[in-house]
Structure 1
Amino acid sequence: MHATKLALTIAAGLTLSACAGLQNAPPDAIASLPVVTFPAKPASEDFVYKLPGGQAIPALVIIDGSALASGAEQTLAVTLPADLYLYKQWASDDGVHWHQANEMIDVALRLSLPSDANPGPGEIHLTVNRKTDN
């Protein structure tokens, strides 16, 4: 359950990190933190989380709400092409050079419901792209 919440937290954190401002990452403070590699659970509150490339990362998709008679949940697996280090609103490829997460990764969510214009199944499309100017 922790791992599935993590995947959703990552997506939300990357989306919301634009609100964090243009602060510089405190590299000395981050360098002194323990690195916890997914799917291990952290022993402390403050840590850098390493998502290893090539390893399946579960992502729980939940559809619910008062407009629905029944909801749905499904766990999907996604894989990163390379390691990704995360700390609060910061992200790094190597655990040394840190950037605002939204400067490294772009997240977009698109939702379409069945309608007269789209009579097929509804679609939830989450797109996660690497930005190449880092």
Structure 2
Amino acid sequence: MEVIKMSLLESGENYLETILVLTKRNGSVRSIDIAEEINFTKASVSRAMSILKRDNYIIMEPDGRILLTKDGQKKAAAVYDRHVTLTRFINELLGVDEKIAEKDACRIEHIISPETFAGIKGMLKD
């Protein structure tokens, strides 16, 4: 029987993005680091990690470290790319304050179509 992986909800994408960012910043990530970063309870983070582990987006090491799987890394990188690109677009091209641009990008990154995102990304010069 083939198992079909459901697409992640916004919260799952946010967790993966947080794991990616914390890994880049600190070298390793534990549930407590995630809870502190996003100001959620340890119980909420634990539940989310169980779901991400079940869906093969993360591996939980015996020492508590959380690692992204290949699928998790790919998804986290895509969400992070959308976040950074949209923040930059809203801030630089639309002239919106950076903090507001960041918050808006965080909402938009989960619902934007690939076509619209590609168009926005094409407008930005590196």
Q: Tell me if both proteins adopt one fold, taking TM over 0.5 as the criterion.
A: no
Normalized against structure 1, the TM-score is what?
A: 0.28
Normalized against structure 2, the TM-score is what?
A: 0.29
Query: Which is greater in Rg?
Result: 1
Structure in which a larger fraction of residues adopt strand: 1
